[in-house]
């Protein structure tokens, strides 16, 4: 098993935002995390990648409140829930954040290379860059362009490219289609398929269930911070209560 998370609870002061969340991902899977806006998808991604622990450390001792984190996260056979975000990334669990969030003042090439900061082998970096430009040819064209001037679709491609430079064993992609027009969603869909085909396991959170269901092997449905159901797209869509109440179809 590549990732096994269990008993995940997150509290911001007294407000519980994740409630006994449990899920697993096998090596070679593309697993979807679907649910409405505000269901807790991004919080799950932040929890397993260590960003909530970082936020907890930042807030400790301030007047902004406290964060309580519970549960277990085992990645590639190692317990990682007490590791820093940097240590988790070093082990190959890489988060591609919602809306990409590039370093806007850097050019495209500099942004891509920022994803390679953990790698010291120049040959490996060069090979990864070739792979990135093969999957995202527009980024090679835009290499010298300032990243803040890219379109929304290009920024999302840049975020994925930067993540690939970190050589992920598990690539967690948070809400990649947010704000994109249908044509750009289709392009993004194809890019994610290409990444999956080269052997990278993927954990994909998406509000657009049609987008997620066309890509995923399995899915977890989350609502109000709780996992409500698990299964293939076909299984989830057969459940009338799940379909109408949680998926809106």
The span from the CA of 71 to the CA of 69, in Å, is 7
Distance from C-alpha of 72 to C-alpha of 184, rounded to nearest angstrom: 37
Percent over 70 (pLDDT), the chain: 95
- First-to-last C-alpha distance (Å) of the chain: 32
- Give mean pLDDT, residues 227-246: 87
Largest pairwise CA distance in the chain: 53
Contacts of 86 (CB under 8 A, 6+ apart): 50
Domain spans in the chain, listed from the N-terminal domain onward = 3-246
Residue-wise pLDDT tens digits, 9-63: 999 888 899 999 999 999 999 999 999 888 999 999 999 999 987 777 665 655 5
107 secondary structure, DSSP code: B
Which pLDDT score is estimated for 64?
54
pLDDT at position 246 over 80 = no
Average pLDDT rounded to a whole number, residues 221-240: 92
Residues 165-191 have pLDDT tens digits of: 999 999 999 999 988 899 999 999 999
Q: Is the pLDDT of residue 193 over 80?
A: yes
For domain 3-246, give the fold. Answer: Rossmann fold (3.40.50)
């Amino acid at each position: 098993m590549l990732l096994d998370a269990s008993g995940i609870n997150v509290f911001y002061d007294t407000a519980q935002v994740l409630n006994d969340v449990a899920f697993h991902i096998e090596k070679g899977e593309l697993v979807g995390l679907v649910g409405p806006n505000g269901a807790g998808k991004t919080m799950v991604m932040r929890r397993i990648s260590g960003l909530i622990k970082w936020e907890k450390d930042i807030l400790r001792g301030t007047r902004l409140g406290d964060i309580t984190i519970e549960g277990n996260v085992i990645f590639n056979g190692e317990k990682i829930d007490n590791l820093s975000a940097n240590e988790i990334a070093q082990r190959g669990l890489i988060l591609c954040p919602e809306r990409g969030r590039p370093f806007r003042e850097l050019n495209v090439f500099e942004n891509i290379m920022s994803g390679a900061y953990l790698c010291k082998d120049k040959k490996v970096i060069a090979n990864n860059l070739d792979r990135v430009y093969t999957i995202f040819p527009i980024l090679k064209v835009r290499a010298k362009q300032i990243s803040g001037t890219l379109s929304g679709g290009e920024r999302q491609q840049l975020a994925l490219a930067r993540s690939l430079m970190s050589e992920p064993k598990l690539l967690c992609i948070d809400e990649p289609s947010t704000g994109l027009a249908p044509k750009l969603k289709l392009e993004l869909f194809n890019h994610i398929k290409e990444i999956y085909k080269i052997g990278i396991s993927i954990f994909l959170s998406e509000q657009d269930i049609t987008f997620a269901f066309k890509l995923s092997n399995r899915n977890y449905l989350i609502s109000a911070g709780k996992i409500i159901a698990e299964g293939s797209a076909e299984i989830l869509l057969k459940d009338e209560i799940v379909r109408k109440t949680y998926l809106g179809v």
